[in-house]
Structure 1
Amino acid sequence: MATFTLELVSPEQLLFSDEVEMAEIPAAEGYIGVLPGHAPMIVALKGGVIRIHKGGAITHRLFVAGGFAEITAERCTVLAEEAVPVADLSRDSAATRIAEAEAAYAEAAKGESVEAREAAMARLLAARARLEAASA
């Protein structure tokens, strides 16, 4: 089966780099399935799980809190704000992050800055996606 190079990079480190058959990535508009020969594009990511397929099965599941992906016919590079293997997620930690994000959103909603409200909402949505991933 045809493959392409998938790289997942966080601010701290290169988390994954390998030839894969398919990757499902959580784009802002919805999940995108990336296959070899994909049309070139750059997409914003929302909080969600990247599923990596190799050998006809899902071999890795990684939670990303947001970022960007650059897709070409031969490569997909994910630049994640934060990335964690799903197996390392904790429901308790995710619930704490939701509470913190809700408080930050409530504070941002009091102000006039649309950008601050949008950033706080993105943080809250990513925290909720983290809990969903930790619970799966």
Structure 2
Amino acid sequence: MANSFSFELVSPERLLLSEQVTEVVIPATEGEMTVMANHAPTMTTVKPGVVTVKTADGKTERFAVFGGFADILPTGCTLLAESAVHVDELDRTALDKRIEAVRAELDGAGDEKKTRAEQFIAELTKLGEVVIPA
């Protein structure tokens, strides 16, 4: 049996999960990363995507996150999300509202901000394709 470690997923709205887990897959900005017990200390930014959590009792939970950062230690991991919901709570309407809000920021934006916003829209669109059935 794999070693377990503590994991917390926190958003400004609420604590979504606080459990002993065996594995967490995080959509880090530089690529997906898997966190397991005794992981080297790391801090990373998180892009919009799906966090997959395997709990110590064998269940798998999935959460949609919309950015943030993760603090990883050998004994645990805390993911502070800008916003997050269980994938079962995410629907097309809510995701489309987020995309439209970002698109509204594009008008009159400078090149750097425009590039970041376009990348964020692409990440949100991909998240919708992965999580929400067609």
Q: TM-score, normalised by structure 2?
A: 0.85
Instruction: Give me the whole-angstrom Cα distance separating, in 1, the residues matched to 2:114 and 2:34.
Output: 30
| Runs (5+) with no aligned partner, structure 1 | none
Give structure 1 regions of 4+ aligned residues with deviation exceeding 2 angstroms.
54-58, 95-105, 110-114, 116-123
Distance 2:43 2:111 in 1: 27
More off after superposition, 52-61 vs 86-95:
52-61
The TM-score, its normalising length taken from structure 1, stands at 0.84
Given that 1:51 and 1:61 are in contact with CA atoms closer than 8 Å, whether structure 2 keeps it comes out as yes
The CA distance in 2 between the partners of 1:80 and 1:133, in whole Å, is 19
Note closer, same or farther for the CA distance 1:58–1:124 as it changes in structure 2 (3 Å cut): farther
Change (3 A) 1:103 1:23: same
Deviation at 1:83, TM superposition (A): 0.4
How far apart, in 1, do the equivalents of 2:130 and 2:59 lie? 15
- The one of 122, 129, 132 equivalent to 1:132 is 129
RMSD: 2.1
| CA distance 1:80–1:37, shift in 2 (3 Å) | same
Partners of 2:21 and 2:54 within 8 A in 1: yes
Please list the CA deviations of residues 22-67 of structure 1 after superposition, one character each: whole Å capped at 9, or x if unmatched. 0000000111000001011000000000000135855210000000
Secondary structure of 2:118's counterpart equals helix
> In the alignment, what sits opposite 1:117?
114
Q: Secondary structure at the match of 1:101?
A: helix
Residues 1:73 and 2:71 are matched in the alignment? no
